[in-house]
Structure 1
């Protein structure tokens, strides 16, 4: 049985706080927590499962905080959240049988593309624009697809949801960020359900890190609500680029 010393627990809790802060603004919290969990000696599948447990709390806290600020109506997202959940369950269950290595090779390219999109596309701010597809099509196709990816791998899920809301649904950056969180919360739940069937999360560690996630997500989402695109855009670009570089470094 894996045992966690007090010093290691403090490191993991600190990482969870930072991850909650970053994830509540731009996604990519797994960039911080997954490597720390793996470096602590937890087996890979168990580390992924534990990461899903602690990530629930940050995404849930951010969703509630954005809703309280009036940037999202969570009740209108229940259907989309359900599809995100189902997609993630399927992804987690199929994680051991799909060619994940092929997906990982293309993931850095996608993340760099996301970073470039938000860094250089003119006119990206907190003002809504015309949607390219209807809300029904967006919910029925894009949402479960990204949920599936979250269950399968996970890193960058928040950034991919953001990209969809901005480029397809026409949302401003702050509104897109707010609408991402409940869907990410639901996909985390789906990932946990799927992983419970194939792995054993470290529940107490996940809960301890989850408390820190709550604090980090509250601070991050509060700042994002006050500052908007001026904070969200650079954090999203930095997080996406850093995750892409980390994945590329793993190839070597």
Structure 2
């Protein structure tokens, strides 16, 4: 089926962008909403992946900006993480052009399952700010390089790993972790998007329509997350981790 942008498809993409931006700004996982829609309207996989990165970048930028403006994120504090993530994502994006990501497909669902079990077993996970277990520069350097590489190389669950790491090792609340995660996601998204653009794998018309919805959804979702804190973020986070894990298990083992 060849992709053709009709008024009905454009409306569906716009609405999907709102939903994806809303979910992603709170707990990540917007691709679980956006990518199936892009594929369902007849877009070939590589174009769908590139277009998804385009529209998702607008959403993560909108959400990150809102968290920054509301005082939940300090860019100076996260500067080292941004640089490390940029470096890792560029390396991962280059590496994926030369080898397959298949070996990660069996490992990542198990790691995400661990995140899910730990979150469910910790009733107060991310409810309040706590004492960090790692120095901030060490955490951002290690996780920026590793998760940046992973996002550029493979991707699913990156936001969940960032949020969990920030809560566990930096003592962040879920709200603060959600804000800093969006900044890191935007950084690695831009790197991956640059690769897709260079390869010509982006449908700009569809991506920009979804991007308009993403901006609306991300702004709304991040505002609600800031207002309601972990009581809103945690159940959505758990749902997103569960769905991401289920999708990867289905793709890998079934």
TM-score range, shorter chain: over 0.9
Gapped runs of 5+ residues in structure 1? none
Give the equivalent residue in structure 1 for 2:243: 242
Q: Which residue of 1 aligns with 2:176?
A: 175
1:141 shift after superposition: 1.0
Give me the whole-angstrom Cα distance separating, in 2, the residues matched to 1:85 and 1:193: 12
What residue number does 1:229 align with? 230
How far apart are residue 198 of structure 1 and its match?
Answer: 3.0
State the 1:5 CA deviation: 1.8
What does the per-residue CA deviation read over 1:32-57, in whole Å, with 9 as the maximum and x for residues that have no partner? 11222122222222211111111111
Q: Which residue of 1 aligns with 2:49?
A: 48
8 Å contact kept, 2:126–2:172: no
1:134 matches 2:146 = no
How many residues of Structure 1 are paired with residues of Structure 2 in the alignment? 252
More displaced 10-residue stretch of structure 1: 134-143 or 77-86: 77-86
1:147 CA displacement = 1.3
What aligned pairs does 1:12-161 form with structure 2 within 5 A after superposition?
A: 12-161=13-162
Residue 165 (structure 1) aligns with: 166
TM (normalized to structure 1)? Answer: 0.93
- More off after superposition, 167-176 vs 90-99: 90-99
Misfit runs of 4+, over 3 Å: none
- Distance (Å, rounded) in 1 between the aligned partners of 2:142 and 2:46: 28
Say if 1:62 and 1:221, in contact at 8 Å, map to a contact too: yes
CA RMSD of aligned residues (A): 1.7
Contact 1:45 1:199 in 2 (8 A): no
User: Following TM superposition, by how much is the alpha carbon of 1:23 offset from its aligned partner in structure 2, in angstroms?
Assistant: 0.7
In the alignment, structure 2 segments of 5+ residues that lack a partner are none
For the Cα contact (< 8 Å) 1:115–1:238, is it kept in 2? Answer: no
Q: What's the CA shift for 1:137?
A: 1.0
Q: Quote the offset at 1:88 in angstroms.
A: 1.7
Q: Whole-Å Cα distance in 1 between the matches of residues 203 and 83 of structure 2?
A: 25
2:14–2:213 contact (8 Å) kept in structure 1? yes
Structure 1, 230-239 or 120-129: larger mean CA deviation: 120-129
SS in 2 for 1:94: helix
CA shift digits 1:174-210 (9 cap, x unpaired): 1111111111111111111122233421122211111
Contact 2:126–2:167 under 8 Å retained in 1: no
Q: Are the aligned partners of 1:93 and 1:195 in contact in 2 as well (CA < 8 Å)?
A: no
Query: Which stretch of the first structure deviates more once superposed, 156-165 or 122-131?
Result: 122-131
> Does the C-alpha gap of structure 1 residues 139 and 218 become closer, same or farther in structure 2, counting only changes over 3 Å?
same
Q: TM-score, normalised by structure 2?
A: 0.93
Name the stretch that deviates more: 181-190 or 98-107: 98-107
